[in-house]
Amino acid sequence: MINGMPVDDENLKRLACLLGGGALGALLLKTHHDEARKSRAEKDDPHGVEWLCNLIGELLDNWEPRDYSTEDGYTEALYRYLNRELPDALDEDDPDVTVEMRTSTLFGIPDILINDLLVLELKLNPEKGERDRLIGQCCGYSCEWVTWAIVIGMPQHRVRELETLLEAKSLHYIEVIPFS
One domain for residues 30 and 70 = no
One domain for residues 17 and 78 = no
One domain for residues 8 and 75 = no
Give the chain's domain count: 2
One domain for residues 23 and 68 = no
pLDDT the model gives residue 65 = 93
One domain for residues 10 and 46 = no
One domain for residues 59 and 23 = no
One domain for residues 73 and 115 = yes
Query: Mind listing the pLDDT tens digit for each residue in 116-160?
Result: 999 999 999 999 999 999 999 999 999 999 999 999 999 999 999
| Domain, as residue range, for 125 | 40-179
User: SS3 letters for the chain?
Assistant: CECCECCCHHHHHHHHHHHCCHHHHHHHHHHHHHHHHCCHHHHHCHHHHHHHHHHHHHHHHHCCCCCCCCHHHHHHHHHHHHHHHHHHHCCCCCCCCCEEECCCECCECCCEEECCCEEEEEEECCCHHHHHHHHHHHHHHHCCCEEEEEEECCCHHHHHHHHHHHHHCCCCCCEEEEEC
What confidence category does residue 24 fall into, taking pLDDT thresholds of 50, 70 and 90?
A: very low
One domain for residues 86 and 4 = no
